[in-house]
A = this chain, B = another copy of it.
Amino acid sequence: MEREISQAVIRRMPRYYRYLEELLNENIERISSGDLSKRMNVTASQIRQDLNNFGGFGQQGYGYNVQYLHDEIGKILGLNRQHNLILVGSGNLGQAIANYVHFSKMNFDMVGLFDSNPDLKGKKVGPLSVMHMNELPEFLKTHEVDIAVLTIPKENAVSVCNELVSLGIKGIWNFAHVDLPVPEDVKVENVHLSDSLMQLSYQMS
């Protein structure tokens, strides 16, 4: 019976991963929590505590092997598994995300684009063309899809989300400005751009 790992820790893991990639690029083989803490501007204690939520990846007197730690964090974040994504909402933002996902991260594969606007149907975005929303149920029967990227206006977001859930989608990357009510086994990660912009605005006033 493992203790739940806190949100605060999980939010920090991708940042560790990013810094370890950087170290790899610099051909640095090993690093101590102390040195890493200076680079990242956090305490060494926090780094060691965070990592030890998942296991002992270091060695006394040596520190951490960069390649090994990098790969382990990758596994923790599920980056070793293949993820198939569909885009729901192929407007400006959606198209940008579709391109972005393709180029930036292998193992995240965009496999279908959808939109409710019939005018967009057939439009090429990278290697894919946009399908109409009413083709979605059939598509999900014949393709394995892990994650739906939701880039639609907030007005329709909840109902489209419900549809996605009823079709068996277990992960939603939500760019709509609403909180989505989903069952426990469905995971939602929100990117609320306007919230982010408001926070910046606050910091500046």
Chain A positions within 8 Å of B, measured between CB atoms, are: 10-11, 13-15, 17-18, 76-79, 81, 83, 91-93, 95-97, 99-101, 104-105, 108, 146-147, 170-171, 173, 177-178, 187, 189, 191-205
Contacts and interface: CB of A to CB of B under 8 A. Distances in A.
Contact of A96 (B96, B101, B191): B96
B197 A105 contact: yes
A149 to B, nearest CB: 9
B200 A13 contact: no
B10 A199 contact: yes
Given A96-B96, A104-B194, A192-B14, A200 B187 contact: yes
Contact of A95 (B96, B97, B193, B202): B96
A201 B73 CA distance: 12
Contacts of A13: 198-199, 202
Contact of A195 (B14, B100, B178, B198): B14
The DSSP consensus for interface residues of chain A is helix
Contacts of A77: 198-199, 201-202, 205
A196 B191 contact: yes
19 contacts: A10-B199, A10-B203, A14-B195, A77-B199, A77-B201, A77-B202, A77-B205, A78-B198, A81-B201, A81-B205, A92-B99, A93-B96, A93-B97, A96-B96, A101-B197, A105-B197, A108-B197, A191-B191, A191-B193
Contacts of A104: 194
Contacts of A203: 10, 171, 187, 189
A83 B203 CA distance: 13
A173 B198 contact: no
A177 B11 CA distance: 15
A113 to B, nearest CB: 14
Contacts of A196: 173, 189, 191
Given A194-B104, A196-B191, A201 B95 contact: no
